[in-house]
Every structure is written in C-alpha cells, then in structure tokens.
Amino acid sequence: MRREQTLVIIKPDGIQRTLIGEIIHRLERIGLKLVAMKMLVPDKKHVEKHYTLDPEWIEKVGQKTIDSYKSKGHKPIDTDPISAGKRILGILVHYMTFGPVVAMVWQGGHAVEIVRKLVGGTEPLTSDVGTIRGDFVLDSYMIADISGRGVRNLLHASSSVADAQKEIELWFDKKEIVNYRLVQEQILYDVNLDGILE
C-alpha cells in the first residue's frame, strides 16, 4: 500500500498561473515521493484516450455536472448524462491541448486518495478551502458553460487505483519511472525509528 502510485497532470492553466512549484510543494510536504515527471504538449487523441480509459467516465462526468446544477437550484444545460459527458469530453480535449502540461507520478501510502484530498473537488466554486483547487482558482460549471469551455481547475489527479494504473501506463514508459528510496520513508512507515539518537 505504501507503494501506491497516482498520476497528476498540471493542466495548461496551472502552468500559466505559475503554480508548478506550489503544487509540487504541497504533494511533497505531505510525504509523497515524486517518481516520474515530464513537460509536454499532449495531442487530442492522447487526451481523448486518457479520459475514456474508464468506460463509465462519460456518464459519470455528465451526471456530476447535472447534479451540481440541480443542487444549486439551477436547470442543467443537458438532461442526459451521456450527451453531457460527450460534450464535456470535446471541451476537455480543447482545454488540455492549449499548451504545455506537467505530468507526474507520485508514490506513497494511499497515494490516490491522499492526492484527491489535497487537490479538492472538481468544481473550484465548491472545492474545500485548503485544497489546491479551493485555494488557487475560482471557476464554476456555470462560468465555464457560458463560454462553452472546460472548468479551469489547474490539475488532474487519478480517481481510483485502477484508473491510476491505466493512466500511468498511457503517459509514461516503464523506464521513465524511477525506483528509489527517500530517507524520510523510514520515519513515515517503519516500525522502529532507530538510528536517530547518537
């Protein structure tokens, strides 16, 4: 479990907001280990593949948007989750290919869940304060929808261990992932904290 890995992508808006260092800092300081990192401009096919690795994602993302509109007492633009999801996928392909992104693999105990907690909910309007999305960006489904663009929420993080494995394989070759030990891992995970006293 302490070797769990997750994929994080700093999206084009995260790069333009000069938040690379801040995001890495937050993931690093909790105790996670960075095991792979690269900057690239993804192409449309790659982004489309990324978001459809989970065959249920299209319906889930559509449903999440519809639920969010309803919970705020607004009428959703789409009523069918699948057509909403397809619309969002098209928008996302556009958003994610605007410019460079930074793709990273982070490793550590419960990495998938811990990173999602630090990243915060999808819609920055309702992401908790203290999370990356809650602290650094103010977008909402409504503002994004008025312009027909993606919700600018700075970064992607895998949402399950199964998704993380597929996503990491899509973005990285095996040899790009570095297997190494961080000295602090003894303090985070080992039974004995021996070797501290001199």
* Residue positions annotated with a catalytic role: 156
Sheet containing strand 33-40, edge to edge, reads 33-40, 101-107, 5-10, 155-157
63, 122, 126, 140: which one binds ligand ADP (CB under 6 A)? 122
49 to 88: interface string for ligand ADP, x by CB under 6 A:
------------x--xx----------------------x
* Distance of alpha carbon 50 from alpha carbon 157, whole angstroms: 12
If binding means CB under 6 A, how many residues of this protein chain bind ligand ADP?
A: 15
Region from 67-75, 129-137, 154-162, 185-193 binding Mg ion, contact rule CB under 5 A:
154-162
Question: Could you tell me the smallest distance in angstroms from the CB atom of residue 173 to Mg ion?
Answer: 23
Q: Burial letters for 9-31: b for 16+ Cβ neighbours within 10 Å, e otherwise?
A: bbbbbbbebebbeebbebbeebb
Task: Give start and end residues of each alpha helix (H) in the chain.
Answer: 12-16, 20-29, 44-51, 57-71, 81-96, 111-119, 132-136, 141-147, 161-171, 185-189
91 near ligand ADP, rule: CB under 6 A: yes
Question: Residue 127 CB, nearest distance to ligand ADP (Å)?
Answer: 9
Question: Interface with ligand ADP includes 23 (CB under 6 A)?
Answer: no
Smaller CB distance to ligand ADP: residue 6 or 159? Answer: 159
What separation in angstroms does the CA of 109 have from each of 4, 57, 189?
6, 25, 9
Contact positions vs ligand ADP (CB under 6 A): 61, 64-65, 88, 91-92, 122, 141, 144-145, 150-151, 153, 156, 159
